[in-house]
Structure 1
Amino acid sequence: MQVNTVRIKICGVRDPRIAETAALAGADAIGMVFAPGRRQVTPEQARAICQAIPPLVARVGVFVDTPAAEVRQIAHYCGLDLVQLHGRESPDYCRELGLRCIKAVPARNRQTLEQASIYPVAALLVDTYLEGVAGGTGQPFNWRLLENLPLKAPLILAGGLNPANVGRAVALVRPYGVDVSSGVEVNGQKDLQLIKAFIKRAREVSAYAAG
């Protein structure tokens, strides 16, 4: 019997070798950040990363309040499969963008999460809420906020995940996917052993829960 397991996205990748190795280790998606910050990549860097990723692995670009025309241009140039929006983008923005979107939603409270269902997107990514920070906090939130949440789109769990806690997160939340960045880094750099350990643990618990 085929078992549906959690999808895994490794985000904030800046190196084609890391992207390829993560994908071959079982990652379903590789994320590249175009918003300002220490993980930011240029379109040229992202294009090289996208070209290194094996087929059937999603290429995701992360943007924060970027003009729609610029997002479309970068997505076409790099060969992105999806865009992940971490700013104050409206449902109309997502609808008119003309690209498959993942909308990030801060876990501020239950009401904020329930209202996210108005977004016409491929998935909703729930991340830790921290005032003035668009994402990548490296801090978990209270996963109980997600219990019986009436979302219309698949749920991707983010926020402070790492190899030590991803199993518990998958078992409790049963998300469609999990997203990790700082939790698989050492001194600000992606670590292949942590990436492999994260993927292995998430898959083990997900397969057990589904079985």
Structure 2
Amino acid sequence: MALAVKICGLSTRETLEVALDAGADMVGFVFFEASPRHVTLGTARELGGLVKGRAIKVVLTVDADDATLENCIDAVQPGLLQLHGSESVARVRDIKQKFGLPVMKVLSVATAADLAGLPGYAAVADRILFDARAPKDATRPGGLGVPFDWHLLENIKLTIPFMVGGGLNAGNIAEAIRVTRAGGVDVSSGVESAPGVKDPEMIRTFIRAAREAAGATASSKIASSV
């Protein structure tokens, strides 16, 4: 299966078009006011209308209530909901049932203990995103540009797809894919020149590096099985 590349936190027409033209599989829109990547419903509606089926639109929320989710969904018409807060297993299940959309639950990881809840979430979500756990004093749960120990995922066994994020950039993406064997990667701050400011060339470079790394990993799998 081909690697899924997600560019998250897009907020301008220019950078969205760059991500789409460069071949991003998913484009994410952040609805969390504490984030420098937060977009208004009006901006999200405009940007979402530009995608036109070229990528999966992802709505990212943090412990959002039903009314907020409904407004975000109405604006973007997403193909995937990304739940980036402390949503419980029951809450994830309820959101999926209520809105009838695929759900990706984010698990923040710093140590092996953070994976204890994985079986429960994997039973109700459609996809898992492993992200770096934010420091205790952080004002937001992601987009902080710090990777976690990818070796924690080496022996992960899941029946649903999973992605890896947190501190990824063009320089370390190959190692992240090699270690985790993830089916997808998520980047936000790693393609920015400043917090919330996406850099077109960094987007292109990241997607190119991710594709090359995925190709190299696939080739090594084939070689090892011969």
- With normalisation by structure 2, the TM-score equals 0.87
- Secondary structure at the counterpart of residue 48 of structure 2: helix
Which of residues 154, 157, 163 in structure 2 aligns to 1:150? 157
Which of residues 41, 44, 47 in structure 2 aligns to 1:43? 41
Which of residues 181, 184, 191 in structure 2 aligns to 1:174? 181
Which of residues 124, 127, 138 in structure 2 aligns to 1:123? 127
Q: For 1:171 and 1:150, locate their aligned partners in 2 and report how far apart those are by CA, in whole Å.
A: 16
> How far off is 1:43 after superposition?
1.0
Unmatched runs of 5 consecutive residues or more in structure 2: 220-226
> How far off is 1:114 after superposition?
4.1
Structure 2 residue 205 is matched with structure 1 residue 197: yes
- Secondary structure at the counterpart of residue 117 of structure 2: helix
Which of residues 30, 51, 54 in structure 1 aligns to 2:27? 30
> How far off is 1:202 after superposition?
0.6
Which range moves more in the overlay, 129-138 or 96-105? 129-138
| Paired letter, 1:193 | E
Structure 2 residue 214 is matched with structure 1 residue 206: yes
Equivalent residues of 1:117, 1:153 under 8 A apart: no
Identity percentage over the alignment? 35
- With normalisation by structure 1, the TM-score equals 0.93
Which of residues 56, 74, 77 in structure 2 aligns to 1:76? 74
Cross-structure match for 2:223: none
Cross-structure match for 2:2: 5
Unmatched runs of 5 consecutive residues or more in structure 1: none
Cross-structure match for 1:67: 65
Equivalent residues of 2:20, 2:54 under 8 A apart: no
| Paired letter, 1:170 | I
Cross-structure match for 1:138: 145
Structure 2 residue 108 is matched with structure 1 residue 102: no
Q: For 1:77 and 1:205, locate their aligned partners in 2 and report how far apart those are by CA, in whole Å.
A: 34
| Paired letter, 1:177 | G
* 1:171-192: CA deviation from partner (whole Å, max 9, x where unpaired): 2211111000110011231111
> How far off is 1:20 after superposition?
1.9
* 1:25-79: CA deviation from partner (whole Å, max 9, x where unpaired): 1100001110112110011111111111141411001100110232023212321
* 1:129-163: CA deviation from partner (whole Å, max 9, x where unpaired): 12244111100111111111133321110010001
- Secondary structure at the counterpart of residue 44 of structure 1: helix
| Paired letter, 1:178 | V
Q: For 2:217 and 2:141, locate their aligned partners in 1 and report how far apart those are by CA, in whole Å.
A: 31
Structure in which a larger fraction of residues adopt helix: 2
Task: Give the number of aligned pairs.
Answer: 208
Q: For 1:53 and 1:20, locate their aligned partners in 2 and report how far apart those are by CA, in whole Å.
A: 8
Please list every run of at least 4 consecutive aligned residues from structure 1 whose deviation after the TM superposition is greater than 3 angstroms.
none
- Secondary structure at the counterpart of residue 151 of structure 1: coil
